[in-house]
Structure formats: C-alpha cells, structure tokens
Amino acid sequence: METVLHFAEMLLHIDRFLGIFIQQYGEWIYVVLFLIVFCETGLVVFPFLPGDSLLFVGGAFCAMGAMSLPVLIALLLLAAILGNTLNYRIGRYLGPKVFESDWRWLDRAALLKTQHFYQRHGGKTIVLARFLPVVRTFAPFVAGISEMRATRFQWFNISGALLWVLSLVLAGYFFGNLPFVKQYLNVIVLVGVATAAVPVLVGGLWQWARRKS
C-alpha cells in the first residue's frame, strides 16, 4: 500500500521528483528516463508508468538547461522504438494462446480493449496508441499476437515514436516553463492522462452496451 501511495505521489508531483532525480543522479537521469519509457512500452506488466507526463516535464527541464534536448529526444526515441519491438516479439512468441490462458501478471481487460481497438483501426493502432496510456503498452503486444508483419509493424512503430516523443518533449520545452503551466502543471498532467483515457473508457462502455443489447 505504501508503494502505491508513493507512486501516486510521484505521478502527481512528477516535476518535483524529476528535479530531485536530476540533482541526485546527474547524467544518470538519462538512463533512468530511458528505462522508464522502455519498460512502459516494452513490458505489459508496467502500463502504469508515467510516460506522457515524463516526456513533457523532461522537455521543460531541457528548456531550463538541466538536460540536453537532443540527447533526451534521441534516447527516448530509442527507448520507445526498442520497447515496442520487444513487446511485439513477446506477443509473437506467446501467440493467440494468450487469450485462452489466465496469467496473473496480465491485465486481460486491458488486453481485450486493446484487441478491439486494434481490430477497428488496424496498423494505425500502433501510432494512435502512443497517446493512450495503458493501450500504448498493450498495442505492440497485440500486434505480435495477431502476427502483423515485422516490416509493417516497424513502420508504424517508428512513425508513432517520432510523433509521440517529439510532440510531447517539444511541447514541454516550449511551454513547460510558462508561469501558468508551471503553476498548474500537476493539474495539466492529470487532465492529460484523463483525456487520453476517455476514448478507451468510452470504447469499453460502448462494447459493453452492445453486448447487453
């Protein structure tokens, strides 16, 4: 319970925690951010990691001179691409039997929602999912299970990573240090997470309503 509360506090105050990490770890902060993004996109057991907010706040710290913008963008792009690739490979290895098994470490509800999303939007899911928490983590996994061709997957994977990393990091770089944004950054992060999650929730409710009817 204490770990959950600590994580919630970190999510709510990601700007303060990132500043502390930079002070404590110096250049190692790049490794920390790389691992967070890699794990969130590459392992289905970590869909709760703060991807979007971390990219935005990272860009804001680059604007303050605490980190290098080109280095941060390059490492986060690499983490996002490699993470999705690993997730895709795991999905290819496990195959369709994932839907028939009941593993404790796998959120089946999130997996099924992502599968429905994938069936509706096809390959575009890999790009669109970059901006949807939880779905972002499961999309490459589902693509692997569905045996999407590797070359086609990588095309969407790289395109989505470029859009996701560049848009959020540069948004943080140019707008993250505006007085209004700094004052209400925690609220903006929460609204951003909530807004991204709304389409997923609406889709789930729509599917549930259709089944009931």
Name residue 178's amino acid. L
Residue 165: what pLDDT?
A: 93
* Cα distance between residue 64 and residue 58, in whole Å: 10
Residue 157: what pLDDT?
A: 93
Contact present, 56 and 168 (Cβ < 8 Å): yes
Over range 88-113, report the average pLDDT.
Answer: 69
Interval 33-50: pLDDT, tens: 898 889 888 887 666 676
Nearest alpha carbon to residue 142 among 161, 158, 129: 129
Is pTM beyond 0.85? Reply is no
CB atoms near residue 153 (< 10 Å):
23
* Cα distance between residue 123 and residue 204, in whole Å: 20
- The residues, any chain, with a CB within 8 Å of residue 18's CB and separated by 6 or more, are 29, 54, 57, 58, 61
Residue with the bigger pLDDT between 30 and 132: it is: 30
Residue 136: what pLDDT?
A: 80
Over range 29-35, report the average pLDDT.
Answer: 88
pLDDT at residue 28 tops 80: yes
* Cα distance between residue 52 and residue 49, in whole Å: 9
The number of folded domains in the chain is 1
Residue 85: what pLDDT?
A: 95
The residue segments making up the domain with residue 191 are: 2-212
Nearest alpha carbon to residue 69 among 185, 174, 178: 174
Interval 125-139: pLDDT, tens: 788 888 877 778 888
Residue 82: what pLDDT?
A: 95
Nearest alpha carbon to residue 87 among 151, 34, 153: 153
Residue with the bigger pLDDT between 132 and 112: it is: 132
Contact present, 48 and 23 (Cβ < 8 Å): no
Interval 153-178: pLDDT, tens: 899 999 999 999 999 899 888 886 67
Over range 16-27, report the average pLDDT.
Answer: 77
Q: How confident is the model at residue 99 (pLDDT cuts 50, 70, 90)?
A: low
Chain mean position to CA 172: 16
> In the Cβ-directed half-sphere of 69, how many Cα atoms lie within 13 Å?
16
